[in-house]
Amino acid sequence: MWIMKKKVIFFILFLLVLIVLRLFFVEVYTINQSSMKNTYENGDRVLILKNLYTLKQNDIVIFRWNKENLIKRCIGLPGDSIKIINGKIYLNNKFVSPPSSVILKYSSGIDIFTKADIYYNFGRNWTPYNMGAYKIPQKGMKIKLTPEIVSLYQNLINSEINNNLNLTNNKNWKNNKYYTFQNDHYFLIGDNRAGSIDSRTFGPINILDLKGKVIISL
């Protein structure tokens, strides 16, 4: 009888551990997009760590954008300066060599925005293949709210206000002379660079919108 009780207790504890892990630490994500093609294909499954991780350059993350969960590679960290020249990425004025799985060739069949004018995201006639230099916001970074700077960072400031209900800056932040970022941001790009809508289009991602870091493929 005692052995049976021990087995039941062990089984219950095992289930509790699994539930805690699932709720707070790990999650399975199924790829359903082509922006990481070659690295991952549609239907591939990955395990993500949701907490207690450090994000480094080249890590792959899941994040929330426009009510969707997306998967991209982290290229730029908070405080980095990024620019893209003829499709080549430079971080803090140093060329970033792409992973071997990255698709660099721009095919007319999949290149969905070669000529896209992303003025309303960055305030200039930048494209995903020629843009910057652009300073990625980090927590505590203070900017002067000139019209040009506002055009570069408006979406990010709005995202902070939406994510931080206790933020001292309110929706009338444009009336202020300066803004100090409350969160770190990350520049995320798909490995299928010709067919990925990412930070080159919608800007860096607030750390509060990160869902987790990919740790293994399943």
* Whole-number Cα distances in Å, 184 to 135, 157, 218: 12, 12, 30
| 143 touches 149 (CB < 8 A) | yes
Measured CA to CA, the distance from residue 73 to residue 58 in angstroms comes to: 6
Q: Catalytic residue among 6, 50, 72, 135, which?
A: 72
Catalytic residue among 35, 159, 196, 199: 35
Question: Would you say the C-alpha torsion 140, 146, 152, 157 has a positive or negative sign?
Answer: positive
Q: Return the number of other C-beta atoms located less than 10 Å from residue 124's C-beta.
A: 14
Name the nearest CA neighbour of 80 among 199, 212, 167, 163: 199
| Whether the Cβ atoms of residue 91 and residue 76 lie closer than 8 Å to each other | yes
Pull the structure tokens for residue 32. Answer: 């359903």
| Distance from C-alpha of 143 to C-alpha of 158, rounded to nearest angstrom | 14
The answer to whether the CB of 145 falls within 8 A of the CB of 178 is yes
Is 72 a residue of the active site? Answer: yes
Residues designated catalytic:
35, 72
